[in-house]
Amino acid sequence: MERGSESKNANKQRNTGGKETRSGRHHASRWYRRPAIVVSLALLILAIGGTAAVFFYATSSSADERTVGETAMQMVPADPEEAPIPEITPLASASEQVVAAMPLEEKIGQMMMIGFEGGGLDAGVREAIQQRYVGGIIIFDRNIASHEQVAGMNAALQQLAVEAGHRAKLMIALDQEGGKTRRFTDIGPFYSQPMIGEMHDAAPGAAQLQASAAARDLKQLGFNTNLAPVADVSAGWGTVMDVRSFSYDAEFTAELTARAVKGYKSASFISCAKHFPGHGSADGDSELNLPTVESDLETIQGTDLPPFAAAIEVGVPMIMTAHLAVPALDATGTPATLSRPIITDLLRGSMGFEGVVITDDLEMGAIMDSYGIGEAAVISVMAGADIVMVAHTPELQRDAYDALVEAVKSGQIKESDIDKSVVRILDMKKKYRLGLDPASDSQAE
Look at residues 128, 138, 137 and name the one whose alpha carbon lies nearest to residue 106: 128
Residue 428 above 60 pLDDT? yes
- For residues 13, 17, 18, 24, the Cα torsion angle rounded to the nearest 10 degrees is 170
Q: Looking at the structure, tell me whether residues 115 and 47 fall in a common domain.
A: no
Q: What is the domain-level CATH number for residue 402?
A: 3.20.20.300
Q: Looking at the structure, tell me whether residues 287 and 393 fall in a common domain.
A: yes
| Amino acid 29: pLDDT | 45
Alpha-carbon distance 151 to 119, whole Å?
11
**DSSP H helical ranges for 296-372:** 297-299, 306-313, 340, 365-368
In sequence order, what are the beta bridge partners of 273?
319
Residue 84 falls inside a structural domain: no
Domain ends where: 53, 72, 91? Answer: 72
Alpha-carbon distance 441 to 445, whole Å?
12
Lowest mean pLDDT among 125-129, 249-253, 280-284, 440-444: 440-444
Residue 63 above 80 pLDDT? no
Residue 162 falls inside a structural domain: yes
Q: Looking at the structure, tell me whether residues 68 and 200 fall in a common domain.
A: no
Confidence label for 180 from pLDDT (cuts 50, 70 and 90):
confident
Full domain range(s) for residue 162: 104-436
| Residue 313 or 93, more confident | 313
Q: Looking at the structure, tell me whether residues 284 and 403 fall in a common domain.
A: yes
In sequence order, what are the beta bridge partners of 225?
173, 270
Number of domains within the chain: 2
Domain ends where: 23, 54, 72? Answer: 72
Confidence label for 57 from pLDDT (cuts 50, 70 and 90):
very low
Lowest mean pLDDT among 38-47, 237-246, 294-303: 38-47
Q: How far is residue 437 from each of residues 162, 168, 186, measured CA to CA in Å?
A: 12, 8, 32
Residue 77 falls inside a structural domain: no
Beta-carbon contacts of residue 377 (< 8 Å; ≥ 6 apart): 362, 388, 390, 400, 401, 403, 404
Confidence label for 442 from pLDDT (cuts 50, 70 and 90):
low
Alpha-carbon distance 323 to 42, whole Å?
104
| Amino acid 64: pLDDT | 45
Q: At what angle do helices 250-266 and 203-219 cross, to 10 degrees?
A: 30
Q: Looking at the structure, tell me whether residues 316 and 403 fall in a common domain.
A: yes
Confidence label for 441 from pLDDT (cuts 50, 70 and 90):
low
Q: Looking at the structure, tell me whether residues 67 and 210 fall in a common domain.
A: no
Containing 333, the helix (H) or strand (E) segment is none
Give the burial string for 398-422 (b: 16+ CB within 10 Å, else e): bbbbebbbebbeeeebeeeebbebb
Beta-carbon contacts of residue 439 (< 8 Å; ≥ 6 apart): none
Beta-carbon contacts of residue 173 (< 8 Å; ≥ 6 apart): 113, 136, 137, 138, 139, 223, 224, 225, 226, 227, 270, 272
Residue 174 falls inside a structural domain: yes
Residue 80 falls inside a structural domain: no
pLDDT (average), residues 214-223: 98
Q: How far apart are the first and last CA of the chain?
A: 138
Q: Looking at the structure, tell me whether residues 298 and 381 fall in a common domain.
A: yes
| Residue 79 or 165, more confident | 165
| Residue 140 or 79, more confident | 140
| Residue 27 or 336, more confident | 336
**CB distance 178 to 154 below 8 Å:** no
Q: What angle do CA 146, 147, 152 make, to 5 degrees?
A: 100
Lowest mean pLDDT among 84-93, 202-211, 403-412: 84-93
**Main-chain dihedrals φ then ψ at residue 178, nearest 5 degrees:** 95, 155
What value does the mean pLDDT of the chain take? 86
pTM of the model: 0.80
Q: Looking at the structure, tell me whether residues 138 and 12 fall in a common domain.
A: no
Q: Looking at the structure, tell me whether residues 366 and 246 fall in a common domain.
A: yes
Q: Looking at the structure, tell me whether residues 110 and 251 fall in a common domain.
A: yes
Distance from chain centroid for Cα 211: 25
Residue 169 above 90 pLDDT? yes
Q: How far is residue 318 from each of residues 84, 397, 424, measured CA to CA in Å?
A: 43, 21, 10
Q: Looking at the structure, tell me whether residues 271 and 367 fall in a common domain.
A: yes
What does 403-444 look like in DSSP terms, one character per residue?
HHHHHHHTTSS-HHHHHHHHHHHHHHHHHTT-BS-GGGPPPP
Alpha-carbon distance 276 to 341, whole Å?
13
Domain ends where: 72, 92, 123? Answer: 72
In sequence order, what are the beta bridge partners of 389?
113
| Residue 11 or 101, more confident | 101
- 196 CB burial (10 A radius; 0-12, 13-18, 19+): buried
Residue 67 falls inside a structural domain: yes
User: Alpha-carbon torsion 166, 168, 169, 171, what sign?
Assistant: negative
Beta-carbon contacts of residue 340 (< 8 Å; ≥ 6 apart): 382, 383, 384
Residue 78 falls inside a structural domain: no
Q: Looking at the structure, tell me whether residues 65 and 113 fall in a common domain.
A: no
Residue 439 above 90 pLDDT? no
- For residues 413, 415, 421, 427, the Cα torsion angle rounded to the nearest 10 degrees is 180
